[in-house]
Amino acid sequence: PRQILTYLDGVVKVEETELKPRVGFLYPVLTHNISLFINATRERDSGQYMCTVNVVDDATSTGKNVGVINLTVLVPPAAPACRLHGHPAVGANVTLSCASAKGKPSPTYRWQRTAPTPQFFFPPVQGKV
C-alpha cells in the first residue's frame, strides 16, 4: 500500500503521487468525518483504499482502527469498430466482427438483424430518351 494523505499534529500532508493534485480531505479533520475526495477520477485510481486511525498512546484499539473501501472507476466503452470479413455473395461465408478498445466493466454486445435497404433496379432503356 502507498500512503497518499495524512493528518498528524494538525498538519495535512499529501504524498508525492499522481493523486497529489486531485486528492484531499472533504471536511476539516477536526469534524471527525475523515472523508476523502478524488477529483477527475481515472481508471488507474481503481483499487482498495484503507483509512487508518491512530490515537496516541492507545493500545486498546489495535485491529479495530482500519476501514477499507474498494473503488472501481467505471469507463464508458469506446465506439465499436465493426468489420465485414469475406465476400458477401449468395452461398459465401462471411464474418461480422465488432469490438471496443476499452470499457469497464467489459462491454457486452448484442447483434440484431434489421430489414435490408430497399434497392431499386431500372431496366435498361432502348431507343431515344
> What's the pLDDT band for 118 if we cut at 50, 70, 90?
confident
| 48 vs 55: which has the higher pLDDT | 48
Quote the distance between the C-alpha of residue 1 and its chain's center.
Answer: 21
CA angle 49, 68, 29 (to 5 degrees): 75
Burial class (CB in 10 A: 0-12, 13-18, 19+), 19: buried
Give the model's pLDDT for residue 63: 60
Q: What is the pLDDT of residues 77-88, one digit of tens each?
A: 999 999 999 999
Flag whether pLDDT at 119 surpasses 90: no
Q: What is the pLDDT of residues 19-34, one digit of tens each?
A: 899 999 898 887 778 8
Give the model's pLDDT for residue 82: 94
> Could you tell me the pTM of the whole model?
0.64
Give the model's pLDDT for residue 59: 64
Grid cell of 90 as nine digits: 449468395
Q: What is the pLDDT of residues 50-102, one digit of tens each?
A: 988 877 666 665 666 888 889 999 999 999 999 999 999 999 999 999 999 99
Give the model's pLDDT for residue 62: 60
> Helix or strand or coil: residue 67?
strand
Per-residue DSSP letters for the chain?
----EEEETTEEEE-SSTTGGGEEESS-GGGS---EEESS--GGG-EEEEEE---TT--TTTTSSEEEEEE---BPPPPPEEEEEE--STT--EEEEEE-S--BSPP-------PPPP----PPP-S--
